[in-house]
Amino acid sequence: MKYQLLVALLFVLISCVKSDLLLKYIQFEYDIEKCSKQSSSSDFMTGGGSFGEEIKRVGGFIDSNGSDDSSDESCDNDEYNSITYIKLNQCGIFGGLYTMFQINYNDGTIVKETYSESTCNETSPVTEIIKLFQCFDDCKTGPYLYSISDTGDLEIPKGTFVSVYYDGVPCNGWKNDFIQIQYFPLNKCMTTGMQTSYMYTCNSTNYELIISNRYNCYPESTSYRRTNTEIECFGKQNLEICYN
C-alpha cells in the first residue's frame, strides 16, 4: 500500500513538471529453459500453465501477485527483445489491435483500452488495468514491463531496427508527431513462446527480417526485405530506419 501511494504521489509530481509523458513498454528476452519446463506440466498455449497462473486477470485487472518470485529477476537485465514508446491518450496499433493507453494518477496504474475499429471511439472497449513498474512473466512472448518516460528523454540506441508509426502525417518531426516508436536489436536471434524465432539484419541497401520455425533463427520459412531503408517513409504513416 505504501508503495502504491508513493507511485501515485510520484505521478502527480511528474504530471506537474513534464507535459508530454510517454508509456515505455519493454519486452525482455524469452527464457526457453524456464518456459519449456512450465509448459511440459500444462498447456500454456490454451491459457493454463505458466501464463494463466502467473498473471491473474480479475474483472479486467491484471495482477501479478500470483507470479513466481523469480519474475522480477526476469526484467532485471539489459537483454531486451524490443522497446516501445507510446503516446498516451492516442489511438494506435499495439499487439496488432487498436489500443489507447491512459495513466490513472490516483493509484499509479495504466488503463489499456482495446477497440475493434481504427478510431477508438467505441463506447465499450475491452479495458485492462495494468500496474506500472511491475514485471510480468509471460511464457507466450517473454517477460515484459511498463514504465513511464518523457519525449525529452527519448533516445534510440545504435545497432537497432526502428519502426515509427504516425497519425496520418508525413514522416517528419518524429519526436512531435509519432504515436508509437518501437525498436529491436540488430543481429540478435529472438525467440517466442510459439517455438519460433526471428532476427533483424541491415546493410547499406536493405533490411531483412528472418523468421524461423526453430529457436536458432535458421531462415527456413519467411524473410522480408525492403530496399533503401536507411530512411524510408511508406504509406505516409510509417518510417523504418536501420540505425547503425
Query: Domain extents for the chain?
Result: 1-155, 157-244
What's the chain's average pLDDT?
75
Long-range pairs of 42-46 with CB within 8 A, sequence gap ≥ 24? 44/139, 44/140, 44/193, 45/140, 45/193
CA atoms of 215 and 203, how far apart (whole Å): 24
Give me the mean pLDDT over the 36-45 stretch.
56
Q: Is 152 left (phi over 0), alpha (psi -120 to 50) or beta?
A: alpha
pLDDT confidence bin for 73, thresholds 50/70/90:
confident
Of 17-26, 211-220, 235-244, the one with minimum mean pLDDT is 235-244
pLDDT at residue number 50: 33
Structure confidence at residue 225 (pLDDT) = 65
Find the angle CA(50)-CA(101)-CA(95) to the nearest 5 degrees: 50
pLDDT at res. 213: 83
- Asked whether 85 and 160 are in contact (CB, 8 A), the reply is no
For residues 182 and 240, the answer to whether their CB atoms sit within 8 Å is: no
Over range 129-134, report the average pLDDT: 92
In this prediction, residue 25 carries a pLDDT of 96
